[in-house]
Amino acid sequence: MAGWDEAHWQSDISSGIPRAEQRSGRYARYVPDRLDGASLAIDGPLSRDVGAIERGIRALNGSGAEGLAGIARFLLRSEAIASSRIEGIAPSAQQVALAELAQTETVRGITEQAKLVANNMTVVRQATSALAQAETLTVDHVVELHRSLLPEEPRHHGLRAVQNWIGTSSWSPVGAAYVPPAPEQVPGLMADLVDYINGAAHAPLVQAAVVHAQFETIHPFTDGNGRVGRALIHTVLSRRGLTDRAVLPISLVLATLRDQYIVGLTAFRHSSPTGSAEASAAINSWLRTLLESAAIAVEESERLITAIETLRASWTDRLTAHRTAAGLRPTPRADSAVARLLRQLPEAPVVTPSTLARILDVSLPAAGAALDELRQAGILSTKSMERGAKVYLAREVLDLVTLSERALASTHFDTRVSPPVRPVPTRPEG
């Protein structure tokens, strides 16, 4: 049965730590129920909500998903920002996109912040993909994910061998807001967690919710637990095929609804008999929090898809007008470089001729001609790189990223109602 066990903390007075920080005494550690094979009773209305939201998520994998995935990777760069311990204003989507390009080409004017974020985005994407695609997930996979999220913090790598806690003094768990299980219990609890992830006892959203809450409850690392726990949400949804193509920014919504998030996690840590009505009520309380975040993430993703479709229609109109004025056939051939580029823009809003040639598998002159045609049509703009070279930017796509990121950081998910509650790029002009 889940519950709290008591332990005694003895401070080392000779350590040189201020006495006010060295509290000795009793404290309580939480030990959760094991998950693998556990039953879970979900309220009827909540179960119907799960079904409706999952249908909404699956719908995101249809038309427009390609563009959504390209944009969503920029939205989720917040994890990369956190893993780089970058503070202050987040690097803009344009800066990060240019920094991604700078990994393979020479680009000037890139901030160090943007370079760090772009590098970490690549690492995080590779690590989470490995987890999602693994036939059988192991504890080592989770440990490797954690290592990738904290690449420059080797002292925190590996499952913890010490007691940790949240809140109060850095030197004593006495009076802490939450104390996770003893370190000797962590390996067994983590083995149980990955066994549960490898199964399909519950609906994907339910499984993702339970996995995240259980992971945060175990708190298996000395730092970086929040980042790994949020990544596991995406891992579960991807492994279960719910986000086959689209990426859902649930983690950003959870970060915005921080108060509700803490209340939900606290409720999850019940002290009732396994399978009891009280235990189910506690888990249902947390599930409501995750479902609310998922529903908001779906709504924002739907808005993005609509915005992308509107933008595509505008691009088509502008290209048609340009080609007509130039005496060309109004619509380019579907297999032409310019037509394929137009479809690719939401995925690759910042490109060079050489990058585009590689993406489309066309000659460098063909890539350059396609880019220049969209520039003449007012769809792309240019920015100088090293030695007179140019990079082409779909600024309207990058503006969509910024507007969505700002909305997701508002407690009302609308900056006209409430301002962002965390650092975000400034609102685009115009």
Q: Is residue 16 part of a domain?
A: no
State residue 93 phi and psi, 5-degree precision. Answer: -60, -40
* C-alpha–C-alpha distance, residues 323 and 303, integer Å: 30
Q: To which residue do tokens 């970490």 refer?
A: 120
Lowest model confidence (mean pLDDT) among 145-149, 191-195, 325-329: 145-149
Same domain, 139 and 114: yes
Lowest model confidence (mean pLDDT) among 80-94, 225-239, 284-298: 80-94
* pLDDT above 90: percentage of residues in the chain: 50
Same domain, 360 and 247: no
How many Cα atoms are found within 13 Å in the side-chain-facing hemisphere of 156?
19
pLDDT at 207: 96
Same domain, 292 and 358: no
Q: How confident is the model at residue 85 (pLDDT cuts 50, 70, 90)?
A: very low
Same domain, 324 and 284: no
Q: For 26-37, what is each residue's pLDDT tens digit?
A: 999 999 999 988
Same domain, 242 and 328: no
Mean residue pLDDT across the chain: 87
Q: Is residue 2 part of a domain?
A: no
Same domain, 115 and 254: yes
Q: Is residue 19 part of a domain?
A: no
Maximum mean pLDDT: which of 8-17, 228-237, 241-250 = 228-237
- Whole-angstrom CA distances from 6 to 9, 12, 324 are 10, 20, 78
Same domain, 63 and 88: yes
Look at the chain and report how many structural domains it folds into. 2
Same domain, 49 and 136: yes
Q: Is residue 13 part of a domain?
A: no
* C-alpha–C-alpha distance, residues 229 and 221, integer Å: 11
Taking residues 308-322, what's their average pLDDT?
Answer: 94
Out of 303, 329, 356, a domain closes at 303
* C-alpha–C-alpha distance, residues 320 and 6, integer Å: 72
Q: What separation, in Å, do the N-terminal and C-terminal C-alpha atoms of the chain show?
A: 58
Is the distance from CB of 117 to CB of 80 less than 8 angstroms?
A: yes
Dihedral sign of CA atoms 408, 46, 229, 258 in order: positive
Q: Is residue 417 part of a domain?
A: no
pLDDT at 393: 93
Q: Is residue 189 part of a domain?
A: yes
Taking residues 174-201, what's their average pLDDT?
Answer: 96
State residue 331 phi and psi, 5-degree precision. Answer: -115, 125
Does residue 334 or residue 1 have the better pLDDT?
Answer: 334
Structure tokens at 247: 């990426």
Same domain, 269 and 358: no
Structure tokens at 15: 């350590």
Query: Is the pLDDT assigned to residue 219 strictly greater than 70?
Result: yes
Kind of pairing, strands 3-9 and 390-393? Answer: unpaired
pLDDT at 310: 92
Q: How confident is the model at residue 294 (pLDDT cuts 50, 70, 90)?
A: very high
Domain, as residue range, for 367: 312-408
CATH of the domain at 394: 1.10.10.10
Out of 262, 277, 303, a domain closes at 303
Is the distance from CB of 207 to CB of 197 less than 8 angstroms?
A: yes
Q: Is residue 351 part of a domain?
A: yes
Same domain, 271 and 166: yes
State residue 232 phi and psi, 5-degree precision. Answer: -65, -30
State residue 178 phi and psi, 5-degree precision. Answer: -155, 135
Query: Is the pLDDT assigned to residue 86 strictly greater than 50?
Result: no
Written in H, E and C, the secondary structure of the chain is: CCEEEEEEECCCHHHCCCHHHCCCEEEEEEECCCCCCCCCCCCHHHHHHHHHHHHHHHHCCCCCHHHHHHHHHHHCHHHHHHHCCCCCCCCCHHHHHHHHHCCCCCCCCCCHHHHHHHHHHHHHHHHHHHHHHCCCCCHHHHHHHHHHHCCCCHHHCCCCCCCCCECCCCCCCCCCCECCCCHHHHHHHHHHHHHHHHCCCCCHHHHHHHHHHHHHHHCCCCCCHHHHHHHHHHHHHHHCCCCCCCCCCHHHHHHHCHHHHHHHHHHHCCCCCCCCHHHHHHHHHHHHHHHHHHHHHHHHHHHHHHHHHHHHHHHHHHHHHHHHHCCCCCCCCCCCHHHHHHHHCCCCCEECHHHHHHHHCCCHHHHHHHHHHHHHCCCCEEEECHHHCEEEECHHHHHHHHHHHHHHCECCCCCCCCCECCCCCCCCCC
* C-alpha–C-alpha distance, residues 232 and 335, integer Å: 39
Q: Is residue 334 part of a domain?
A: yes
pLDDT at 246: 63
CATH of the domain at 261: 1.10.3290.10
Q: Which of 219, 202, 218 is nearest to 290 (CA)?
A: 202
Same domain, 60 and 98: yes
Out of 282, 303, 324, a domain closes at 303
Q: For 359-390, what is each residue's pLDDT tens digit?
A: 899 999 999 999 999 999 999 999 887 666 78
* C-alpha–C-alpha distance, residues 369 and 46, integer Å: 54
Same domain, 232 and 377: no
